[in-house]
Amino acid sequence: MLKKKSSLKDSNALPRHVAIIMDGNGRWARRRLMPRTMGHRAGMAALKRVVKACDELKIPILTVYAFSTENWKRPENEVQYLMKLLVEFLHKELTELHENQVRINIIGDYTVLNQQCRDEIEQALLTTRENQGLIFNIALNYGSRTEITDAVKKLAAKIAKGEMAPTDITENSVAELLYTAGLPDPDLLIRTAGEMRLSNFLLWQLAYTEIWVTDCLWPDFSRDDLFGAIAEYQQRDRRFGALSTLEEGSEGV
């Protein structure tokens, strides 16, 4: 059910970190007898709407799954179009994002992308690095298993150098070596297009995240859909493995 912004509780109840698996671009295009590339283009418009809405709500962090390590398996022309869209998005939107104090961050290995993509990304990172508003994480050539494996390799290297012992490894020492080091874990994960899987996205970070799935295809995802997801999040009882307040009060009754 769609919700309006007015249905949200005060800012103290807003999620600090929203993560989104943007799914359904291809299906959106197919239903309209369009090529898949047009679905991706429409999806970029939806992304712009959501970034603006998160900035308006003063949500501190937004992380979106833009391109996974598995997406290289797609047809070459589709991959090339996705890279072209990335360049276009950064080139067109950078000025406005910068003016609104949005800080762009990339999680994943973008160094394997073509030179034009790398140049646009590095310009966006450089331009917005001191901004104090919304942290906008773009997961690009990202895979959570690769991220965790990289962290384990770094820990193993430290042990090999005698900088730490195996017994020194803690959840915090692992988290400090992830791509999201220094950021709180997502409070809310939104997945569009009705799929019920994590698709190798932020597997460590999503351990206690509230998950909200909608049948809405990503290109159709609106500001009101975002508000609806947040409104439902605000109704959740986040226990992190403990008892809820109601259950605690019923003990012995």
Q: Check 23, 185, 187, 225 and give the catalytic one.
A: 23
Type of residue found at 126: L
* Alpha-carbon distance values, 150 to 160, 174, 218 (Å): 15, 10, 30
Beta bridge partners of 21: 65, 191
Residue 23 appears among annotated catalytic residues: yes
In this structure, the number of other CB atoms found within 10 A of the CB of residue 204 comes to 16
Residue 131 appears among annotated catalytic residues: no
The DSSP code for 184 is P
How far is 109 from 73, CA to CA, in rounded Å?
Answer: 16
Q: Check 71, 100, 131, 200 and give the catalytic one.
A: 71
**Among 150, 141, 199, 208, CA closest to 174:** 150
Catalytic residue IDs: 23, 71
